Chains A and B, each alone.
Chain A
Amino acid sequence: MSSDDPRQTIHDSTAPSTDTRDSRIGEGVDDRFNSKLREAFGASPFILTKFDKFMNWVRGNSMFMLQFGIACCSIEMIHTYAIKHDVDRYGAGVPRASPRQADVMIVPGTIVSKFGPRMKRVYDQMPEPKFVVGMGSCTISGGPFQEGYNVVKGAEEIIPIDIHVPGCPPRPEALIYGILKLQERIQHGESAPVVVKPYELEEFGDLPEDELIQKLAGEIDEDDLVMRYNWADSP
């Protein structure tokens, strides 16, 4: 019996019929997945899966990227989107200007103290589930600028990162590889744990009082958001 000639009624034996399965996958597999109902509809239009798994698969293959240029790496990132490398081949080539429409944020460059709170805000504005690719050495450790008085030693101080792509800057091929790895992870339902305590945006009034806080008390309101930046304390 094939799908061209479906069974019209279910009667006779209630044991599953195995004709379709046998013709598709041959011997050796037990028949718990086959039912009369399935045979009634024929085999071809159906894939049985878990909804979560299906969603992950969809997510991984249709990622909206955030159009987010910071520094040198963003030029290579543009090249990745553009002609020749064309990351759209992997269903990840739609840069969205608004974080509200984006699934994946590629962090392409050095994060400095002044930009830290802004990046955190942009990340917070992205809808769940969201993923981050850290592009280049600066997002890993601060890269060549690690010793700078103003440089955050890695984007992971501020937001969780799923995939690190090393390089200064990474070639477009490397970024594509990173994106593919991320797709793989998403398809398996994995996401990055937050491994360090990130720099948080907190209200000024909530901070424990110390010398710096006392000094700034006149300038900053109690309920203003602030981020503590501590170059020496970072790993």
Chain B
Amino acid sequence: MSTGIEKSEATGEEDALEALLADRAIAHDDHLNAPGFVVNPTDVQDVLTDLREEAGYDHLSCVTSQQYEDRYETIYHLTKFADRTDEVSVVVPTSLSNPVSQSAEPVFRTADWHEREAYDLVGIEYEDHPDLRRILLPETWQGHPLGGDYDQEKPQLVTLTEHENPIQPDHHDQESDTMFLNIGPHHPATHGVLHVKTVLDGETVVDVEPDIGYLHRCEEQMCQQGTYRHQIMPYPDRWDYVSAGLLNEWAYARAIEDMADIEVPEYAQVIRTMSAELCRIASHMLALGTFALDVYGEFTAIFQYTFRDREVVQDILEELTGQRMMFNYFRVGGVAWDLPEPREDFLEQTRDFLDELPAKVAEYNDMVTSNEIFQTRCVDTGVIDAETVKDYGCTGPVARGSGVDYDLRRDDPYGYYEDLEWDVITRDGCDNYARVLCRMQEVEESAKIIEQCVDLLEDWPEDERTVQANVPRTLKPDADTETYRAVEAAKGELGIYLRSDGTDKPGRFKIRSPCFSNLQALEEMSEGEYIPDLIASLGSLDIVLGEVDR
């Protein structure tokens, strides 16, 4: 069920956009997923403001930057929270000699980090950007690694210096004084190697700045070096590595299947849907366990309970894929192999898990969400309202916990989700508690989906079990085909931008990671609150550094 082709029908909207942009659109550069308008680097804010205010494109999903032989290019992938399938790309070319473009930060807050990343890795500079410095690589790095003439062989220097209190000079008087506190990069509450520069006034957080890049392992470079057909698929497993591998693989699979126009057999889509939801459960279980660990130091009960349940899910996935974590199970055009034989045993094993799940969820509700200490820590802390969520491009449980009804499985359907009965969970608490509850209820919804898939798989006629489409051994999409496709991963909207250059490897492979955008909103959640609430907010954002840094 490829969904990328129907786009050309929507010409009426395109005309309206053309009228709106008028002569600011100097050319067309259509992508497979959306119409693309080329605009001058000096018109960026203008155009984006109009698209946001007039045409309703309120979600800046991703900012892609790349270097061609003759120019730099920044692409703003816009869409709507209310209608995900309505997309538009704004393409901003800049010259090689003077790669300066207007920043989109004043229009979309989320552009801040995205543009810093573009500056860091590709080398485009953004005018009006509030704080244009490197974000993933160390400050002292020489060159821009995804730019054209980068020499990887050259040595680099990395410093280890004391951090300074950024607001000391203007936040110091007789009565109050601030304290600078480093949280991480080696700290149990940061869920990996995140470094949070925090400034405290007493116990109140006055300034927070996440410092990322401690796990920037060049995922985009790795994917650009691999061939479409087989060499890229193992890497997505390692972006969001808390057993959400299949969800990530699906993001790449969807993008390349859209680009190479491959129809996935329905049977494979059902298997994909089922296994991806199992991954979601495993991922949300880990989120719950570590969150409980963060907010009330619960290493013995909740944490161990969630890991007990994760083990069950991992056993099922291991039966199916042969791996506990790095599944590498999806293939371009389907999945690697059918369900393990004997099928009945495998389906039985999955059913057993689903049968036991309601009791376990009830147990979690007894122990965690109705716990008074837990509620004291979570309710009304880390508040972020729906408007701010949209401004920062937050997605997934973070957005849905703030009442933004946005889920790609329903809004931009793929796989087999359309034909199944399930609900999108939203809560309007806007706080840490709402986000945690949202995840727990999503576990139940995922269980519903899996149950239906198991039923379908059980009755599927034996001679129609095609697990892979007929895909050529070497994929070479036409040169300069571009697409941006996203799926609903465990943490939110995981998008892939692909540009082909006519060879069997992508010309540009850009990952839009949900955690990256979600983490950016941390300062909105925690400034002005107490330091323990900062830790709770960090936990409820459920970030994975492998995906933040890529």
Contact = CB atoms under 8 A, between A and B. Distances in A.
Contacts, number: 169
A72 B145 CA distance: 24
Contacts of B325: 72, 75-76, 169
Contacts of B334: none
Interface string A213-235: 10110011100111111111100
A110 B193 CA distance: 11
B150 interface: yes
A129 interface: no
A122 B184 CA distance: 11
Nearest to B243: A75
A97 B189 CA distance: 10
Interface string A89-112: 000000001010000000001101
Contact of A150 (B142, B160, B218, B286): B218
Interface stretch (A25-33, A47-55, A78-86): A78-86
B217 A110 contact: yes
Contacts of A224: 159-161
A113 B156 contact: yes
A181 interface: no
B213 A78 contact: no
B137 interface: yes
B140 to A, nearest CB: 6
A83 B304 contact: yes
A171 to B, nearest CB: 6
B126 interface: no
Given A83-B307, A171-B324, A216-B140, A230 B156 contact: yes
A232 B216 CA distance: 18
Interface string B493-515: 00000000000000000000000
Given A113-B158, A115-B214, A67 B188 contact: yes
Interface stretch (B234-242, B256-264, B480-488): B234-242
A229 B158 CA distance: 7
B155 interface: yes
Interface stretch (A10-18, A141-149, A183-191): A141-149
Contacts of A168: 326
A75 B286 CA distance: 9
Interface string A108-151: 01101111111101100000000000000010000011011111
Interface in A185-205: 201, 204
Nearest to A201: B160
A72 B216 contact: no
Interface in B199-221: 213-219, 221
A129 B242 CA distance: 33
Contacts of A119: 186
A114 B138 contact: yes
Contact of B160 (A110, A121, A145): A121
B222 interface: yes
Nearest to B242: A75
A222 B437 CA distance: 52
Interface string B174-206: 000000000001111001110000000000000
B545 interface: yes
A201 B155 CA distance: 15
A78 B293 CA distance: 12
A227 B156 CA distance: 9
A56 interface: no
Contacts of B136: 150
Contacts of A171: 324
A151 B225 CA distance: 15
Interface in B234-293: 234-235, 238, 241-243, 286
B433 interface: no
B238 A150 contact: no
B382 interface: no
Nearest to A145: B217
A163 to B, nearest CB: 21
A69 B193 CA distance: 7
A122 B186 contact: yes
B157 A114 contact: no
Given A75-B325, A76-B325, A230 B155 contact: yes
Contacts of A71: 192-193, 215, 217, 238, 241, 545-546
A14 to B, nearest CB: 59
A232 B150 CA distance: 13
Contact of A112 (B191, B216, B303, B307): B216
A215 B186 contact: no
A69 B216 CA distance: 15
B322 to A, nearest CB: 12
A144 B215 contact: no
Contacts of A69: 188, 191-193
B154 interface: yes
Contacts of B192: 69-71, 74
Given A84-B308, A114-B214, A212 B155 contact: yes
Contacts of B214: 112, 114-115, 118
Contact of A149 (B139, B150, B161, B187): B150
B142 A212 contact: yes
Contacts of B286: 75
Given A69-B192, A212-B142, A148 B218 contact: yes
B153 interface: yes
Interface in B298-315: 303-304, 307-308, 310-311
B152 interface: yes
Contact of B217 (A112, A212, A232, A233): A112
A68 interface: yes
Contacts of A110: 215, 217
B213 A114 contact: yes
Contacts of A233: 155
B187 to A, nearest CB: 8
A109 B311 CA distance: 21
A233 B154 CA distance: 9
A72 B152 contact: no
Q: Which 5 pairs between the two chains have the least Cβ-Cβ distance?
A: A148-B218, A72-B241, A82-B307, A117-B160, A232-B153
Interface of A: 67-72, 74-76, 78-79, 82-84, 97, 99, 109-110, 112-119, 121-122, 138, 144-145, 147-151, 168-169, 171, 201, 204, 212-213, 215-216, 219-221, 224-233
Given A229-B156, A231-B152, 13 more contacts: A79-B310, A82-B303, A82-B307, A83-B308, A110-B215, A118-B193, A147-B222, A147-B225, A150-B217, A225-B161, A226-B160, A228-B156, A231-B153
8 contacts: A82-B308, A83-B307, A83-B308, A118-B193, A221-B161, A226-B160, A229-B156, A232-B154
Interface of B: 136-142, 145, 150, 152-161, 185-188, 191-193, 213-219, 221-222, 225, 234-235, 238, 241-243, 286, 303-304, 307-308, 310-311, 324-326, 545-546
